[in-house]
Amino acid sequence: SGIGGSSNNFRRKPVIIIVVGMAGSGKTTLLHRLVNYTVLSNIRGYVMNLDPAVMTLPYGANIDIRDTVRYKEVMKQFNLGPNGGILTSVNLFATKFDEVISFIEKRADQLDYVLVDTPGQIEIFTWSASGAIITEAFASTFPTVVTYVVDTPRSENPTTFMSNMLYACGILYKTRLPLVLAFNKTDVAQHHFALEWMKDFEAFQAAISSDHSYTSTLTHSLSLVIDEFYNNLRSVGVSAVSGAGVESFFKAIEASAEEFMETY
């Protein structure tokens, strides 16, 4: 593909980075760290907040769902509980997402990245129609990458690790977008064990064999499936608190955006 000479009008920039992860994995803290890094490095970015229920954000959002949808009002109006209120708010926002896309398109020449923070309860974004609508709206206009934030210290247990990877695998399967695993909180626990388990099935099996409640046949079967998944993603270790790994993170994003441009 030649520079600037592409036949389609697909834009190379900005790259959309959709940040998902289990509650407490550190999405918001990591986003704050990424924003600070971009400011210091003269990388031009926007931040978008898609969590209607968040009270305060450590970063200033350029696009904020809370400016459009009043979560508390939605709960009252539709007589919903907290999760239903968040889901309905995101649905309402999704119906106006073409406006969000054109807002970004107008500024595309001045932007390298748009970082997207998603609701704390991961399934609200990953398993809802509106999450799919928003993801597709991005991916049909800009190179789009998904970042799955992993709580590294909490994943040192092999069964927790496997269920976390299966969840990430489901996200890859559903979005069909390039995926970057961000092993966060490496200031507390390094992610070497994870890289080792992803590279070497026998090392993982050795770790899990100490847990007798798991049949080795299930583990073995899962490992075959997940191995293909591991081959299709990039992994980086980061610390939202110390800032370690942020440069590698952006390199992985850049490579994933290239992959997106070649594939879609």
Residue ranges that bind ligand GTP, judged by CB under 6 A: 21, 23-29, 120, 184-185, 187-188, 239-241
Q: How far apart are CA 190 and CA 184, in angstroms?
A: 9
Residue 223 CB, nearest distance to ligand GTP (Å)? Answer: 27
Q: Minimum distance from CB of 207 to ligand GTP (Å)?
A: 23
| Identity of the residue, 175 or 239, whose beta carbon is nearer to ligand GTP in the bound complex | 239
Q: Work out the angle at residue 87's Cα, subtended by the Cα atoms of residues 83 and 90, and round it to the nearest 5 degrees.
A: 140
Dist. CA 107–CA 256, nearest whole Å: 22
The structure tokens 């696009």 sit at: 63
d(CA 182, CA 245): 9
Q: Least distance (Å) from ligand GTP to the CB of residue 211?
A: 26
Number of residues assigned to the chain: 264
90 and 122 Cβ atoms separated by less than 8 Å: no
Nearer residue to ligand GTP within complex by CB, 21 or 143: 21
Nearer to ligand GTP, 24 or 99 (CB): 24
> Considering beta carbons, is residue 113 or 125 the nearer one to ligand GTP?
125
Residue 214 CB, nearest distance to ligand GTP (Å)?
28
Closer to ligand GTP by CB, 57 or 101: give it.
57
* Alpha-helical runs (H) found in the chain: 27-40, 71-77, 82-94, 97-106, 122-126, 129-139, 158-175, 192-199, 201-208, 216-230, 246-263
CA 143/CA 102 separation, integer angstroms: 15
CB of 32 to ligand GTP, least distance (A): 8
